[in-house]
Each structure stands twice: as C-alpha cells, then as structure tokens.
Amino acid sequence: MHPISDERNWLTWLVKVRILILLVLLAIELAVIRLTPSPLPLLPFLTGMVLWFVLSLFFLFLVSVWSEHRLQAILQVLSDLAMVTLVVHVTGGIDSSLNFLYPLVIVVACMLLPRSWGYLSAALAFISFGAILELDYYGVVPSYANSHPKLQALQVVVFVNLFAYFAIAYLAGLLMSKLRQVDVQLKDASGALENLQALHENIVQSMSGGVIATGLDGRITLVNRAAQQLLGIPEAELCGRSVADLFQDPLPHFGVARSDAEVRYHAVNGFRKTFRVLVSALNLTARGDLGFVYSFDDLTEIRRLEREVRMQDRLAAVGRLAAAIAHEIRNPLTSIAGSVGMLSDIPTLNSEERHLLQIVTRESDRLNNIITDFLAYSRGKQYRFERVDLIPLLQDTLTLLEHRLTVESAGIELKRNFAKSEAWVLADGDKLKQVFWNFSENAVRAIRTTGKTGTLTVSLVERGPDWEMSFADTGPGINPQQTDKIFEPFQSCFADGTGLGLAIVYQIVQAHEGKVWARSELGKGTSFVVRLRRFDQALTAGGTSSASQSDQAALASAAGGGTRG
C-alpha cells in the first residue's frame, strides 16, 4: 500500500465511492431504459448491480474486522474487474456505455497497490473485455449488443482498448509514483516542522520566566508553564481573558520609551506579588503585527529583601540613636518627675495649677514609657533557645487575654483554630510570648477603634517545613502604604503608641530566623502572620545566643503586657 494516507482510510473511502457510483449508474440506466426504447435486459442488469452493491457492503464490513489491507485491496480490484465485465456484457458488450469503468479500476489499482499491479489490472481488463466480445461474437454467451461488427473490426476495438488500458496504467502509475515521492517529502518536511515546532514549544514551556502571548485585542492566546505557576491559574482559565485584567497596575505599551514596568498582582491565595513585565510585538514580516508577547519575572522576594535591608538600616540607626540619648534623657526626666511630685504636695496650689502639674506628670510618664521602649529596642537581647511547644504558649497568652476581656466586658470574641495538637520549634518561649501578646493586644485595640464588637482568630497550621501562626482581627484594617512599613520604627497605627512594639517583634522573629508579615484590607481587618521552622526541620543549635546586655523590656509573661505598637 502506498504511503499517501492510512491504508484503512483509503479502503473505506474506495468502498464508499464505489457505492455512490453504483447508485448513480443505476439511476442513469433506469432513466435511459424508461425514457428511450432500449433492448437492455432489465433483470440481468439489476441482478449484476445488486450483486456488486452487496459485494461493496461486504468489503465495507471486511475493512473494520480484517487488518490485512493489502489482500483486501487485491480482492477489491479483482472483484471490480469481474463485476465491470459482467455489467459491460449485460449492457451491450461492444455497444455498452459502461466500458469506461475499466480505466477507473486500473486507476484504483495504481492508487492502492504497487505500480506493477496497474499493468496487471490493465492486462486483466484487456483479457476480460476481449473475452466478452469474442464470446458474444461466436455466440458462446447470449449477446445483448445492437451491432454485430466483423471480426477484423472487433479485433481493432479490442487492441485499441489494450493500448488505452496500458496507457492509462502507465500514466496513472507515473502520477502515483510522483505523488508518493511528494508525499514522502511532505512527510519529511512535516516531521521536521513538527520537530521544530515541538522544539520551540519546549523552549517556551521550559523558560523560567512567565510568557503570555495575546492578540491585538489583548486577549490571551498562549501561556507557558512558568506563567501559570506564577499566576496560580491554569491555562484553560487564562486563555481568552484580557491580559490587562490580571494585574492591578497598567501594563507597559509597546513602542513607548519604556517597554517594561513593575506591576502588582493579587494572587488567588491572598498574597500580593510584584512582577516586572516586558512587552514586545508578535510580528510576522509578511503579515505585520499579530499581537503582543508579555514576559515577566517575579520580583516579590527581591523587593521583600530590599525592604528588609532598608528596615535593618533604619532599625540600626534607631538603635544607635536610642543607645546614645536614652540615658541622657532619662536622668533629667527622673529629676523633673520628682520635682513635679514634690510641687504637687504644696497645699496652697489652686485647681488650675494642680491640673498643669497633672499634665506634666502624665507626659513625663509617657516619655518614660517611650524611653523604656527605646532601651528595649536598642539593647542586645539574650535568647535561650530550646525545644518548646507553640500550642501552650499561644494558649497561655490567649487565656490571659480572655480573662482580661471578660473583666472589661469588651465584647470581643477569641477563636482558636489549631490544626495540630503539638507544634514543636527551637525557640525562646518567653520572647515568643512577647510576640504573641503584642499581636493580640494590637488586634484588641484595633477592634475597639471601630466602637463595635469583633473577633480575634488565632490559627496555627503546618506550611511545608514551617509552622504558620496568624492573628486575624475584624478591625478597620490598614491601608497598603502603612502595611508595607508596619514593622519599621515609629509607624504606630494608634494615637498613643510609640511605634516600636512591632519593630521589637520583628527583631525577635528575625533572631529566630523566622518570617513575619501583615495582610490587611481596609474595612475587613488585619492579619499578622508568623512563620517559624519546625523543630524536625531546624538546624541543631543549642545553648544561649550571644548578647551584650539583658533585655529590660522583655515581657516574659503575658501578664506583663505588650509593647506599644
């Protein structure tokens, strides 16, 4: 079988075409018999056509159950030659208008079988046609012909058909040979093109950066694997969407001075990412611009590290400042507070003077609290790392807070959502209590600013090699600008806060080689998240970390209160 197409499909196509031709021939011949006086015997013709039709149906069934397609092709060619000979005989022999069917069978033989079978089918067609004419002439079989030419004329007709049959076999075989060569070349070129296409597709899919291709209307047409992972959305959901709707910031435009931009993306898991996006035109020389290609990289971690470096610089600067001036301020402040206390004991003071002294006393206390936080922030902290369970630390903090809220009738509900009964880490338990109390106290203060009741939900889940704890409140929320700077010094969200509480928390978490961040949305509350390495994943590090001084402001127990955030 030649390699132009699948053998089974060709055989099926041949059977269907044969059935269609039979139906057309039957309709034409019946119309000729009905409309014109013709000696054509109707019964033998119909018998031959029905037999041929039944054979075609049998071959159609045979194709679906027999895998020897070469033998099927030979059987179909031989049966077609026999049926053509029968139909030509009953339709008039030398006068038949259906002898054109022989060339069709020869062409089919050249299509389905090797070239030699084309010449063999031409020889068999010549023998079959010549035998019918000779048998009709000598009266061996019944003759249905109208004319009765002499033997010499009959021989001329037979040999003319012989030349025609072999000429058709030669031309059809030559054409099919060329088609087979072209088909092989086409398959080779198609295979090379598929390999090239697969190579290009693998290159695009293997890129570490995200790639999105769009049409001129901005609708996404192609997304590589990296883009799906960065966006957290499968290709099926991305294709057809507008690329501009994916990001919170405008995308760069091709052809302007800068073809790149940093854009924010709100991931499906609630995190916000930062991408650097570059745009280029998808151009074909012959057809012009077909769309745009957006390539992007995730800068979230880089920007986070940059913020941490800036924060560390600021923290270091504040620490140096606090260490330099804290003692110089505290000594005069103590003298002022003592002097004011002595003045307040004078019995001759009027109410206005006593009110002024109360203001001085109150402001001195507030300034003293600020100095205390300065000292807690600036002095080196001594950590004692050991294997501790986070669950009891959280329970102690929340129990104490719950009792205080009950006494105050604050109307704030505490919810615990612990996915594990134990959560072991290598940490300083007292310092972690300070962190937990600070987050809890800030959440309560945030809820109280709304003037309504609210909920503080504390959760603990396992995230890969870490334990993740979150303190989520239903307060007013924090705007994005404040969220980015929430752990920097002097960034308090409360009127009476010093802005150092969360900076101290950040120091403690950093000392534990953990991560801490805030997620917030205005009107929906704030969530502070802490991640600490699980004990079974942590590096073995025992003993006490080096420190220069003891921590005066350490809130070792929840009863000590939280630093001001």
Is residue 178 over pLDDT 60?
Answer: yes
Cα 375 to Cα 378: distance, rounded to the nearest angstrom: 5
Residues 315 and 421 in one domain: no
At 380-420, the pLDDT tens digits run 567 888 999 999 999 989 988 888 888 887 788 899 999 98
> Domain end: 315, 345, 378, which one?
378
Question: 3-state class of 232 per DSSP?
Answer: coil
**Residue 497 within any structural domain of the chain:** yes
Residues 513 and 404 in one domain: yes
Residues 372 and 313 in one domain: yes
Task: Count the Cβ atoms, other than its own, within 10 Å of residue 143.
Answer: 19
Residue 238 belongs to domain with CATH number: 3.30.450.20
Is residue 27 over pLDDT 50?
Answer: yes
**Residue 517 within any structural domain of the chain:** yes
Going by pLDDT thresholds of 50, 70 and 90, the confidence category of residue 285 is: low
Task: Fill in the DSSP letter of residue 222.
Answer: E
Residues 445 and 352 in one domain: no
**Residue 203 within any structural domain of the chain:** no
- pLDDT of 551 reads 35
Strands 424-427 and 454-463: unpaired
Is residue 257 over pLDDT 60?
Answer: no
Cα 197 to Cα 190: distance, rounded to the nearest angstrom: 10
- pLDDT of 547 reads 35
Residues 413 and 346 in one domain: no
At 6-15, the pLDDT tens digits run 567 777 777 7
- pLDDT of 378 reads 60
**Residue 368 within any structural domain of the chain:** yes
Q: What is the mean pLDDT of residues 463-484?
A: 87
- Which two three-digit tokens encode residue 460? 């603990």
- pLDDT of 371 reads 73
> Domain end: 378, 402, 430, which one?
378
Q: Which amino acid is at 58?
A: F
Q: Which amino acid is at 87?
A: V
Please tell me the least confidently modeled range out of 184-193, 417-426, 509-518: 184-193
- Which two three-digit tokens encode residue 193? 């093109």
Residues 122 and 84 in one domain: yes
- pLDDT of 302 reads 87
- pLDDT of 36 reads 66
**Residue 483 within any structural domain of the chain:** yes
> What's the gap between Cα 192 and its chain centre?
28
Residues 43 and 170 in one domain: yes
Which of 383 and 551 is assigned the larger pLDDT? Answer: 383
CA 52, 58, 61 angle in degrees (round to 5)?
145
Residues 466 and 550 in one domain: yes
Residues facing residue 560 across a β-bridge: none
Residue 421 belongs to domain with CATH number: 3.30.565.10
**Residue 277 within any structural domain of the chain:** yes
Residues 133 and 161 in one domain: yes
Which of 182 and 146 is assigned the larger pLDDT? Answer: 182
- pLDDT of 481 reads 76
Is residue 540 over pLDDT 50?
Answer: no
Question: 3-state class of 53 per DSSP?
Answer: helix
Q: Rounded to the nearest 5°, which phi and psi values hold at 269?
A: -85, 5
Residues 538 and 414 in one domain: yes
DSSP alpha helices (H): ranges in 91-238? Answer: 101-112, 115-138, 151-206, 225-231, 235-238
Residues facing residue 222 across a β-bridge: 213
Task: Count the Cβ atoms, other than its own, within 10 Å of residue 194.
Answer: 10
Residues 315 and 428 in one domain: no
**Residue 565 within any structural domain of the chain:** no
Domain that holds residue 44: 7-188
Residues 392 and 508 in one domain: yes
**Residue 537 within any structural domain of the chain:** yes
- pLDDT of 4 reads 38
For residue 67, give Cα distances in angstroms to 6, 7, 19: 12, 10, 22
Residue 331 belongs to domain with CATH number: 1.20.58
For residue 450, give Cα distances in angstroms to 49, 479, 491: 94, 15, 20
Count of domains observed in the chain: 4
> Domain end: 298, 325, 356, which one?
298
